[in-house]
Structure 1
Amino acid sequence: MNRTSVKIVIAGGFGTGKTTLVSSVSEITPLTTEELLTSASVGIDDVTGVESKTHTTVALDFGRITISPDVVLYLFGTPGQDRFWFMWDELAEGAVGAIVLVDTRRLDTSFPAVDYFERRGIPFVAAVNQFFGECEYTDDEIRSAMELGAEVPLVWLDARDRASSKLALIALVRHAMSRLPQAA
């Protein structure tokens, strides 16, 4: 049987829920490279808004989800801190698209990921992570603040919830497929 492998990147700023999303939806025990935040990161990692965060991804997260007998999604979560951004080119190589996680308490942490995928022409969806409760902003307010083009899907999810995370993946795959050249 020939399987089609599809690479998806899960990106966003520090503490936006990338590891949580990969873990919630992966059918295998995800590979994570979580390390304890130590005093060495004081003044380097901005924990404003995520003061209770104790671990951080230092390389990548990896998970897998089988869509059908012949299609498998491989999920690659990026580290969020800017000192690890040098790894993003390797993680994004060959990806059909990305989910950019957005924390509305700290929108600015997702700007670099949006810029990264826009500059490279990699399809992405912006996914507002609601794992901190209700969001007081509308789609239009978030789109405006993030300067998202109308062509970029904006979805809402709770990264802890498997069904919610799957819906974001479906939105991304549909968006990426819509950008493929149409056969004549």
Structure 2
Amino acid sequence: MVSVGSADRYLPDTVQQAVKIPVVGAFGVGKTTLVGSVSEIAPLRTEEVMTQASVGVDDLAATSGKTTTTVAMDFGRITLSPRIVLYLFGTPGQKRFWDLWEGLLEGALGVLVVIDTRRLEDSFDVLEQLEVRHVPFAVAVNQFPDSHPYPTEELREALDLLEETPIVMCDARDRASSAEALITLVEYVLDGSAVRTPETAS
């Protein structure tokens, strides 16, 4: 049973496994929203107001209402079961912040990649970064109100994903939907479905 929205700040004594999950994706796809919606504690956020310095650097065409951006990371927690707790680390989406990924990916069970189908091409470089690092991941398609619905297999082909890589539809604003995306990732890795390499097995 997924426990979300608990007012408790402290973990139950039954917890035996703490799992690190980075939440990555291109700029403005909904990573901060997802971490905030699912976290059972008040999420830690490192958002700053966007200034003139971002003009011509950050593409706001599809995110015209966005006024802040993550500059370090978002942090949240969700207890999946009496035994397993997830620690979530939302990463900045802009390429200039990608050096921060190295530390956040270290020791992670797997990665949840959030994508926006209105700007699918923005996710190509993100996925490539994970593939060269041999990190297991699942893809959460954040369904914005004006997003066009695409069949899963069409998305898989467009993103050049392996057949076994999970793709789950998600509303990052909705706690249950965000939790389901995380559960899909954890099950994918823990049941042995994820492709493992010597780098990830070590």
TM-score normalised according to structure 2 size: 0.85
> What secondary structure does 1:112 align onto?
helix
Rounded to whole Å, the distance in 2 between the matches of 1:33 and 1:14 is 15
Structure 1 unaligned spans of 5+: none
1:81 aligns with 2:76: no
Q: 1:140 aligns with which of 142, 153, 161?
A: 153
* Higher deviation after alignment, 48-57 or 26-35: 48-57
Given that 1:131 and 1:160 are in contact with CA atoms closer than 8 Å, whether structure 2 keeps it comes out as: no
Give aligned pairs, total. 181
Which one has a larger percent strand, Structure 1 or Structure 2? Answer: 1
* Higher deviation after alignment, 49-58 or 126-135: 126-135
Percent identity between matched residues is 55
> What secondary structure does 2:72 align onto?
strand
Instruction: Return the offset for 1:120.
Output: 1.8
Q: 2:59 aligns with which of 40, 46, 54?
A: 46
* Residue identity opposite 2:26 in structure 1: G
- Taking only aligned residues, the RMSD between alpha carbons, in angstroms, comes to 1.5
Match runs of 1:11-90 below 5 Å: 11-90=24-103
* Higher deviation after alignment, 69-78 or 132-141: 132-141
Measured against aligned partners, the alpha-carbon deviations of 1:109-153 in whole angstroms (never above 9, x if no partner) come to 211221122222211111110033453321122111111110111
> What secondary structure does 1:69 align onto?
coil
Structure 2 unaligned spans of 5+: 1-12, 197-202
> What secondary structure does 1:31 align onto?
coil
Given that 1:4 and 1:70 are in contact with CA atoms closer than 8 Å, whether structure 2 keeps it comes out as: yes
Q: 2:125 aligns with which of 112, 116, 126?
A: 112
Rounded to whole Å, the distance in 1 between the matches of 2:51 and 2:84 is 40
> What secondary structure does 1:22 align onto?
helix
Instruction: Return the offset for 1:70.
Output: 2.7
Rounded to whole Å, the distance in 2 between the matches of 1:46 and 1:98 is 24
Hey, what does 2:7 align to over in structure 1? none
* Higher deviation after alignment, 94-103 or 113-122: 113-122
